[in-house]
Amino acid sequence: MTHSKSRPAPRNSNTISSSSSLGPLPPYSEDIERGVSETSPLYRANPARYTVPRGTTEIEHQLILDGLTWTELAPSIQCLRYNTREYSALLKGVSNDMDSLEWCKEKEITVHGIHFRKPAYCTIDVDRSGIARVHGHWIVESNEPRCMTSWEDFRDKGCAGNGSHYRRIEAHLGNHQPLWDNWREMCATTPMDYEGYHFDRPDSCDLSFFGGVTGVWFLKDKSC
């Protein structure tokens, strides 16, 4: 919803868009995509296609890729943000004399009908037997009902203040999993439709022990 510039929207200590106490948005999902918070060694997927090793023809290279498979595809229990979750899978078919990381960076996959040409990043884990296991990781941003938070129980709290020209609307964040999800990230990325208007995110987010997560919007109202 677009407001005029005659008077800025009210702010409080929790205002996401401008408050120093809550901004910028939590970096968790961005860090995951960059691999910052991973404990395993990280290897970013190459932006350009991997160069065919010397002595290997393009046909041989493609045959090797075709012989590799992703197994044990599984979603993370934690949502990164609204309708977004990370998936990981184990790369199979890589022989000991092959650079498993380079092949991981090139191997495609389809998740929820969406084709990914390469992983967002690759990791190496060494199991108890000393065998290295290579995993690919993808950020999937669709068909994730577990991560589709929604706004419910709307409450009109009246004018934000005398002469403010803004009305305060609050709503409760539903389908939120507090044990796993970052409440600020989920609140800040959950859209809302209210009385014919669409909002990509709340103006602020609040968390209380009994009330859960509350989103706050300031709607322009000349009567206030």
pLDDT tens string 107-135 = 999 998 899 999 999 999 887 887 888 99
Cα distances (Å, whole numbers) of residue 97 to 50, 68, 135: 17, 14, 18
Distance CA 167, CA 154 (A): 13
Residues 93-114 have pLDDT tens digits of: 888 767 888 899 999 999 988 9
Q: How far is CA 134 from the centre of its chain?
A: 23
How many Å from the N-terminal Cα to the C-terminal Cα in the chain?
18
**Cα dihedral 133/104/77/26 (nearest 10):** 120
Residues 168-191 have pLDDT tens digits of: 999 999 999 988 999 999 999 999
Q: What are phi and psi of 53, to 5 degrees?
A: -55, 150
Distance CA 113, CA 109 (A): 10
Distance CA 103, CA 69 (A): 11
